[in-house]
Amino acid sequence: MVIYRFLSGEDDSAFCHKVTKALSEGWLLYGEPHYVFDAGAGKMRCGQAVTKEVADQPYDPDKKLIDYV
């Protein structure tokens, strides 16, 4: 089974660390990063989709994605 996450945050080094941590845990980049201007906060926001292949198991919407192995 393939699981999907969308990481998002302010366009700063903390966001880059969030993506790097996901990659170090076996997640793979999926598609291009996205950028949007948050006019209310006056800041750029970014997002990156990641996917991960996990052992076949029943999908449970109450289970945290990081708990799938």
CA dihedral 10, 62, 1, 31 (to 10 degrees): -20
Residues 1, 56 contacting (CB under 8 angstroms): yes
Instruction: Tell me if 51 is assigned to some domain.
Output: yes
Residue 7, in any domain of the structure: yes
36: domain range?
Answer: 2-55
Residue 40 inside a domain? The answer is: yes
| 24 or 69, higher pLDDT | 24
Sign (positive or negative) of CA dihedral 54, 51, 63, 57: negative
pLDDT tens digit string along 15-51?
Answer: 999 999 999 999 999 999 999 999 999 999 999 999 9
Q: Tally the domains of the chain.
A: 1
Quick: pLDDT tens for 39-48.
999 999 999 9
Identify whether 6 is part of a domain. yes
pLDDT at 56: 86
The whole model's pTM is what? 0.84
